[in-house]
Amino acid sequence: MTMRHRLRTGLLRTSAIAAIAFLASAAISTAQSSFQPVRLARAEPRVDRIEIHYQANGGQRRIAFVLLPSSYQPGDDHPLPLVIAPHGLGPGPFLELARLWGPLPAEGDFAVVIPEGQGRELAHYSWGYRGQIDDLARMPAIVEGALPWVRIDPARIYAVGASMGGQETLLLVARYPHLLAGAVSFDAPGDIALRYRQYRQLEDGAFLQAAMRREVGATPEADPGAYAQRSPLDFTAALARSNVPLQIWWSTRDRLVVDQRSHSGRLYSEIKRLNPDAPVQEVVGRWPHTAELRWDSGLPDALSALGLLPVKRPRAGDCAGWLRPPRAPLSGRGLGATCPLHAELDSREVPK
């Protein structure tokens, strides 16, 4: 299969998802020009999944999934914390992400929004495009506009993402620090030019390089500034002074974001070098790529440290004892800790 054909096939798959969403919405809507929210099959017995639509950068119409506790219904007047959850690379991780949150929105009484995303050229392959980051910052208003009966607590807005979603979470912290009460990045690339070169080591690396060239507009050698604008490492100073409680999780055995020490590991070290008092925590383990972003894995520990879930009593091999609650003193095990919980995680099929 030629590279042009593979790229075209990937783009057609992206277009098909958008077309299916459009037709599903049109089928249930009246002759109104606006799209109506769609209550989908529950992602989990205690969690409702609602499909909404929003206008992304460039005027593109995109979908987003909103996860709500099923107990939260029209007429409830208490505001919910909101987690903005950008997805990993490609349409598969976007469609899979709701399932990975499991029952947690119900257990913590919070909402999650999972935007489809839109880059400069491509949906699902946005790679930290500025317009995409701006769209993420609009998500609280988008959710309340689409679902007027849902109230969002503006003081408790968070961002949590893995891989490309982690990259975009970091860029959201850097560009919109006053929006967020906390953030978690799992297994994120930090240097996008380096990421482009490292794609050669992956089985589908040529396809990903072609997609990245189309999305960014050039190679790193031809336009290094365009890649820098998408690289969290180029926003280290902004992250260091953001004062947003931030967790950076990365694995020494990540085979998809190759050499995480040069990405998330380096980012953590640079932030602490610039601001030793920055409220950033590092969790290092040996899990497969993004295996910790699951309701039954590391995600509950990360959310507990943000204050979104009750703090568990630490058990042997549990990450809960290695992370501090928001705004806790910087002394203690949470600083640069290696969490033992995920050392022996099995190789699950997880999104990039």
State the SS3 of 240-307.
HCCCCCEEEEEECCCCCCCCHHHCHHHHHHHHHHHCCCCCEEEEEECCCCCCCCCCCCCHHHHHHHHC
Helices 164-175 and 130-137: crossing angle in degrees, nearest 10, is 70
Global pTM reads 0.84
Architecture of the domain defined by 3-338? 3-Layer(aba) Sandwich (3.40)
Q: Which two tokens stand for residue 34?
A: 């606006």
Strand partners, 114: 65
pLDDT computed for residue 37 by the predictor: 78
Q: Which two tokens stand for residue 191?
A: 């240097």
pLDDT computed for residue 30 by the predictor: 32
- Measure the CA–CA gap between 123 and 146, rounded to whole angstroms: 21
pLDDT computed for residue 45 by the predictor: 80
Q: 268 — phi, psi (to 5°)?
A: -60, -45
- Measure the CA–CA gap between 222 and 216, rounded to whole angstroms: 11
Of 178, 180, 154, the C-alpha closest to 169 is 180
Q: Where are the domains of the chain?
A: 3-338
User: Residue 132: in which H helix or E strand, if any?
Assistant: helix 130-137
How far, in Å, are 62, 197, 276, 324 from residue 99 at the CA level? 20, 32, 37, 27
Question: For the chain, which residues score pLDDT lower than 70?
Answer: 1-35, 41-44, 312-352
Q: Where are the beta strands (DSSP E) in the chain?
A: 38-44, 47-55, 61-69, 80-84, 111-115, 152-162, 182-186, 246-251, 280-285, 337-338
Q: Note the maximum CA span of the chain.
A: 60
- Measure the CA–CA gap between 99 and 83, rounded to whole angstroms: 15
- Measure the CA–CA gap between 134 and 192, rounded to whole angstroms: 19
Helices (H) and strands (E) in the chain, counts: 12, 10
pLDDT computed for residue 43 by the predictor: 59
pLDDT computed for residue 114 by the predictor: 98
253 near 288, Cβ under 8 Å? yes
